[in-house]
Amino acid sequence: MEVSIVVPLYNERDNVEALYSALKSALEAMHCSYEIVMVDDGSSDGSYSVLSRLAADDACLKIIRLRRNFGQTAAMSAGFDCAQGDIIIPMDGDLQNDPADIPRLLDKIHEGYDVVSGWRRDRKDTVVTRKIPSMLANALISRLTGVHLHDYGCTLKAYRREVLDGINLYGEMHRFVPALASQFGARVTELPVNHFPRLHGVSKYGISRTLRVILDLMTVKFLMAYSTKPIQLFGKWGVYTILAGIGTGSMTLYMKLFEHFSMNRNPLLILTAFLLFMGVQFIVLGLLGELNARTYFESQGKPIYVVKDRINLD
């Protein structure tokens, strides 16, 4: 299998048939072996019945149905796990990504790149709630990860299979795959792609995702920089905390000896020590929780989704 197209779907009944037709046209024109893996992420609008009907007449269309709405990252991970192609291309199911861009992504992969990320240069979304937050997020992600891309949020990307085999996805991590792949030496580039306005249905994502993306970015930064040497992070914070404690303790002692200010009435030392201690504890607990989650899932080979039905899959 040369190419696998992975499409996570959630309540996209009105878009499924048009997307399927556009994908078939683009892929048939390429004269390569392919499969289309569509993942129904717990849709409640009848999307699965449409997918079932289409798959009954086309063995190249593989359907995965999750028991409930696990989220885009989990649905994408389910598709990646079942995809058999040497090159895997995820894309949105809302018809805003253009299947005609697939050959261009493949051409870029064949130039020797391991990851080709789509760039919605002329994005057809609202300015205040989508474009501006996206620009700020992309700048922040690029700066913290060192992998400079204009559009981390574009689902349309192309990956060599071996890149995805070494990456496990959690939370909202699908957008950070290029950064995580670069950690293992993958060659990453980006390519301007088409972007269309949504014609049917409503967007499932908005500005409310910002906090989750920021938290996941913290995790990605930790995994990229400190996963094999956490003492360099936690030890540094420990030294800073000790120095702060020494500083506030010295100030409290100075106030006691030279200004005759009672230590019992001086909250500075206790307050500073308490705030620093609690801040460090919260960060450490969060990061240790991330590591424990990976240990829990990966040691058991346990996926982050539950499949209800499969069509045209062994």
Domain identity same for 62 and 202: yes
**Residue 215 and residue 73 share a domain:** yes
pLDDT in tens, the chain (314 residues): 899 999 999 999 999 999 999 999 999 999 899 999 999 999 999 999 999 999 999 999 999 999 999 989 999 999 999 999 999 999 999 899 999 999 999 999 999 999 999 999 888 877 777 778 888 888 989 998 899 999 998 999 999 998 898 788 887 788 899 998 888 788 999 999 999 888 876 666 655 667 778 888 888 888 787 766 777 777 777 777 878 878 887 887 788 788 777 777 778 878 777 777 888 878 887 788 778 777 767 776 767 676 777 888 86
Q: Specify whether 292 is located in the same domain as 305.
A: no
Strand blocks (E) in the chain:
3-9, 34-40, 61-66, 87-90, 115-119, 157-160, 188-192, 307-311
The reply to whether 23 and 138 lie within a common domain is yes
Domain count, the chain: 2
The pair of structure tokens assigned to 232 is 């360099």
Query: Counting beta carbons within 10 angstroms of the beta carbon of residue 285, is it exposed (0 to 12), middle (13 to 18) or buried (19 or more)?
Result: exposed
Instruction: Based on the fold, state whether residues 10 and 111 are members of the same structural domain.
Output: yes
Could you tell me if 190 and 140 lie in one domain?
Answer: yes
pTM exceeds 0.75: yes
The amino acid occupying position 271 is L
Residues 187 and 267 in one domain: no
163 and 241 belong to one structural domain:
no
288 with 221, same domain: the answer is no
Domain span at 45: 3-226+301-311
Q: What is the CATH number of the domain that holds 188?
A: 3.90.550.10
Rg, C-alpha atoms of the chain: 24
**Same domain (yes/no): 47, 130:** yes
